[in-house]
Amino acid sequence: MTRTWTLPPLAVFAVVVFVFAGELLSGTNLYFASMASLSIVCACVTYNILRGLGSISGIAFTRFALSTLVISQVGKVLVLERADQNLDTPNVVISVYALYFFSAMLGTMVFSRLRLPLPKPAEPETATQSRYLYFVSLIGGLAGTALEFQAAFRGEAGATSLAHGIGLILGYFLPFSLVLAVDHRLRTTDGRHIFGWMAFWPTMVMELSGFVGGSRQGFVEPFAIIFLTCYLRNFRFRRRHLAIAMGLAAGFVLFVSPFYLYARSARENPTLGEQLSTMIRTLEQAPSEWSTIKYQVGSEAVEDTRAVNYFSTPSAVTLNRFALIGPDSTLISACAAGYHYAFTSLKLDLMSQIPRVLYRDKPDAGSGQFLGQLDGQEEGWEGTTTNSVITTIADSYGGFGWLGVIVFPFFVLPAIFVVYESMFDMRKPWGTVATVYLLIGLTEGSMGQIMVNGIIKNPLYVLVLSWGAAWIVRMIPATGDRLVTTRVLQRAGTLPENAG
């Protein structure tokens, strides 16, 4: 069984007292500090109801709570900034947050144990099948990346092409091949090692794709997949693994994040060739212009009034990526006077998912541009920080006011969790991939995006791709090594003795 890591009441109490007292000492008003503390309590209770890091829903909710609420409030205390600073209508924002997390807590209490008889993905049954699936998925993932690159060469026109859509679907194979590679390495080394040549190739492809796009998430994603795969197999991390993780984290904060932020600030709707040229040119200039890069993504960024920065301290600029309460506040403030756009956001997101062959006039994108113009994040923006990023917290309020903040987290958020818990076993390869996509997709996006991707698109793509890959592989004889695989992992201590 996977470790749960639920939170003891004393730890929750200590964190809440730390945040509440720290915010008051930094000058935050009493109401804001009280609502922030209440929100953290509700988030911690919800985390425990979902069995913490021992379930798909618990892992996804952890990232959601950290990126929207917890890191931002703890970070404000650590850098001695007022928590109600740099927010539009701060008391309204924190009230929306408190009600959202309270409703999510009640919803998980009611629905968290519900399971549905949904179809499940075809997982590899033997080590030999797993090896064959690795090569099938790696080839499929490379083909998907090539199609995305080919579409990206055409700029905006390519983004709406059939090739781009097929590339995105085949792209699910790349993280799957990485999970299989880590599984293979654990199996063949009796659980002593996690990275080998099989894992190297999908990692490099994912890193290249992230580099071209200037995506910080693209840089982190393969390492996060490797860590998550090992964690879900009960791998015993050693000191060298922790040292490597700390080195990667330090390198990301000190070098990768500033570099990517600076490089992508010079682009606006570029083609792939323009993106790649910008990244290479910036990489060549980085050693001699590093002080300029640090200034532009640090002091200059936080001084720019157009930037959506929750933190004012230049050294904490990277934390803005994990403080989505800042971007959320712009949309909440825009709707605080009484204007609410009802189903407009949902309609745009749903219509954007209809195939163009069925609906020629469908919007090229979902609600992102509409919401970005509404809250002002899109107007005249060419900066370097988080932009046009909102969560379902802000969108539920923007669309339906206080009723939306109650209904969405009470009904829809648990529904997404129920779907994933009913369909996937996160300790198996495709289940791990589904966990990765929920972990990435749950936090950033409007209500329609989360609903379409969380309940329909991601589960359906995983099912179809798993069945297709299994049909190809099962035409090749591959039997007789299931028991050996399980026993090897049990001897290594990475699986419990009662694992099937």
Quick: pLDDT tens for 328-371.
999 999 898 888 888 888 888 888 777 665 666 666 667 777 78
Virtual torsion, Cα 132, 133, 136, 142, nearest 10 deg:
-130
Percentage of the residues of the chain whose pLDDT score is greater than 70 = 80
The rounded distance, in Å, linking the Cα atoms of 245 and 227 is: 9
Residue 135 CB neighbour total at 10 angstroms: 13
Match 């040119």 to its residue by tokens: 281
Lowest mean pLDDT among 5-14, 262-271, 381-390, 415-424: 381-390
Determine the average pLDDT of the residues in 71-90: 91
User: In terms of Cα–Cα distance, which of 392, 415, 419 is closest to 404?
Assistant: 392
For the stretch 3-49, pLDDT in tens is 667 899 999 999 999 999 999 999 999 999 999 999 999 999 999 99
Residue 14 CB neighbour total at 10 angstroms: 11
Using pLDDT thresholds of 50, 70 and 90, give the confidence band for residue 380.
Answer: very low
- Supply 278's token pair: 């910008």
Tell me, what's the pLDDT at 481? 53
Amino acid letter for position 287: P
Residue 92 CB neighbour total at 10 angstroms: 16
Tell me, what's the pLDDT at 324? 92
Polymer length in residues for the chain: 500
Which long-range contacts link 254-261 to residues 24+ away (Cβ below 8 Å)?
256/216, 256/219, 257/216, 257/297, 257/318, 257/321, 258/293, 258/294, 258/297, 258/298, 259/283, 259/286, 259/293, 260/214, 260/215, 260/216, 260/219, 261/216, 261/297, 261/301, 261/384, 261/385
pLDDT of 323 higher than 70: yes
- The model carries a pTM of 0.85
